[in-house]
C-alpha cells in the first residue's frame, strides 16, 4: 500500500511537468530523448524488483535527513512551477524520489535503486545558455572532422563554419546532429552499457566512463557523414526525409558499437574484475 501511495503522489506531481515537457522540450529533436530515459529507468527498477522487494521487507524508514531532503525537493519544485522553469520542475524529482523512498523504506532502498534514480539526470532538460555555449564548438569540431575524412576519401566537399557543401548541395549541421544534447544522450547510453555489463574493475569502469566522451563525438561524426553521403548520392529530399530521422537511430547504434569496441580493447589490458 505504501508503494501505491508513493507512486500515486509522484504521478500527481509529475502530470503537469510532463505536459510542460511535451509542449516545450520533448517535441524537439534536440531533447526528445526524455521519455526514453524515463522508460529505461523504469525498466531498470523492474529488473531489480526482487532485490527491491527484499529491501522493502526489512524497511527501516529514514528520519530527519529524509524529511529535509523532501523539503528541499518540494522547494525546488515550487520555484520551478512558480517561475515556469521546466529544468527545476523535472530536476526536483530526483530529491523527491530519494526522499520518498528513504522515508517509506529507508536508505537501504535508496542504495538499491541508486542507478535508476541517477539515470533520470539525463531526462532533465539542459539549460539553454549552457547548450548554446557548448554546442557551437562541438558542431564546428564535428563538421571539421567530417569534412576532412570525406575530403581524404576524394569527395568534392568543402566547409564554411558548420555548413558543409558537397556537389551541388549545402547542409547545415544542426544542433540535433552534433550538439551537446546528442552527446548527453550518448553519455546516458554509455553509462547504461556500463551498468548492464557490470564490470567490477574500478579502473576499467573509470576508463570507460572517460572514453564515452570521445566515443560520443565520433558517433556524431559518423551520423553527419552518413547524412552528407545520402544527400550526395540520393539528393536533398532523401537526406532531409526519412533517412534524416533514421539518423538518430544510427547515432545510437554507432555509439553502442564503438563502446563495445572500446570495451573489448580495454579488455586486452584491464581485466573486467579486480584482482584480490
pLDDT tens by residue, 165-180: 988 888 877 665 555 6
- Interval 239-243 mean pLDDT: 59
- In this predicted structure, the answer to whether residue 145 has a pLDDT above a threshold of 90 is yes
Query: What is the spatial distance between Cα 229 and Cα 156, in angstroms, rounded to a whole number?
Result: 11
Last residue of a domain, one of 68, 94, 123: 123
Question: Given 81, 159, 223, 264, which residue is catalytic?
Answer: 223
pLDDT in tens, 51-98: 988 988 888 888 889 899 999 999 999 998 888 888 888 899 999 999
- Across all residues in the chain, what is the average pLDDT? 82
User: Are 113 and 45 contacting, i.e. CB atoms less than 8 angstroms apart?
Assistant: yes
- In this predicted structure, the answer to whether residue 268 has a pLDDT above a threshold of 80 is yes
Q: Are residues 259 and 145 in the same domain?
A: yes
Question: Given 111, 140, 177, 218, which residue is catalytic?
Answer: 177
Q: In the chain, which residue ranges form alpha helices assigned H by DSSP?
A: 2-24, 34-47, 49-57, 64-83, 86-91, 93-105, 107-112, 114-119, 128-152, 175-178, 180-197, 202-234, 236-240, 242-267
Last residue of a domain, one of 123, 147, 180: 123
Least confident of 68-77, 106-115, 160-169: 160-169
Nearest-CA neighbor of 219 among 272, 256, 189?
A: 256
- Interval 132-161 mean pLDDT: 87
Q: Specify the pLDDT at position 272.
A: 66
- In this predicted structure, the answer to whether residue 139 has a pLDDT above a threshold of 60 is yes
* Known catalytic membership, residue 218: no
Q: Are residues 72 and 31 in the same domain?
A: yes
273 domain residue, yes or no: no
Query: What is the spatial distance between Cα 194 and Cα 266, in angstroms, rounded to a whole number?
Result: 13
Q: Which domain holds residue 161?
A: 128-267
Q: Are residues 132 and 260 in the same domain?
A: yes
What's the structural domain count of the chain? 2
CA angle 121, 124, 126 (to 5 degrees): 115
Q: Are residues 110 and 202 in the same domain?
A: no
Q: Are residues 142 and 104 in the same domain?
A: no
Q: Are residues 98 and 137 in the same domain?
A: no
274 domain residue, yes or no: no
Q: Are residues 145 and 25 in the same domain?
A: no
User: Are 44 and 115 contacting, i.e. CB atoms less than 8 angstroms apart?
Assistant: yes
Q: Are residues 153 and 189 in the same domain?
A: yes
Amino acid at each position: 500500500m505504501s508503494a501505491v501511495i508513493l507512486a500515486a503522489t509522484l504521478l500527481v506531481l509529475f502530470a503537469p511537468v510532463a505536459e510542460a515537457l511535451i509542449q516545450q522540450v520533448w517535441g524537439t529533436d534536440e531533447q526528445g530523448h526524455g521519455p526514453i530515459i524515463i522508460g529505461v529507468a523504469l525498466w531498470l527498477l523492474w529488473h531489480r524488483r526482487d532485490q527491491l522487494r527484499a529491501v522493502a521487507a526489512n524497511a527501516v524508514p529514514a528520519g530527519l535527513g529524509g524529511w529535509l531532503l523532501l523539503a528541499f525537493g518540494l522547494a525546488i519544485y515550487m520555484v520551478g512551477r512558480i517561475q515556469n522553469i521546466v529544468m527545476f520542475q523535472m530536476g526536483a524529482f530526483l530529491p523527491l524520489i530519494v526522499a520518498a523512498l528513504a522515508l517509506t523504506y529507508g536508505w537501504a532502498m535508496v542504495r538499491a535503486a541508486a542507478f535508476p534514480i541517477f539515470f533520470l539526470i539525463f531526462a532533465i532538460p539542459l539549460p539553454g545558455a549552457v547548450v548554446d555555449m557548448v554546442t557551437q564548438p562541438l558542431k564546428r569540431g564535428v563538421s571539421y572532422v567530417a569534412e576532412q575524412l570525406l575530403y581524404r576519401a576524394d569527395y568534392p566537399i568543402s566547409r564554411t563554419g558548420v555548413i558543409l557543401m558537397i556537389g551541388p548541395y549545402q547542409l547545415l549541421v544542426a544542433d540535433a546532429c552534433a550538439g551537446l544534447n546528442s552527446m548527453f544522450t550518448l553519455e546516458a547510453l554509455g553509462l547504461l552499457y556500463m551498468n548492464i555489463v557490470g564490470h567490477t574493475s574500478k579502473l576499467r569502469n573509470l576508463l570507460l566512463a572517460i572514453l564515452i566522451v570521445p566515443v560520443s563525438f565520433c558517433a556524431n561524426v559518423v551520423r553527419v557523414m552518413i547524412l552528407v553521403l545520402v544527400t550526395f548520392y540520393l539528393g536533398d529530399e532523401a537526406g532531409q526525409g526519412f533517412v534524416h530521422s533514421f539518423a538518430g537511430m544510427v547515432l545510437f547504434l554507432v555509439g553502442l558499437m564503438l563502446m563495445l569496441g572500446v570495451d573489448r580493447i580495454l579488455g586486452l589490458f584491464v581485466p573486467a574484475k579486480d584482482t584480490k
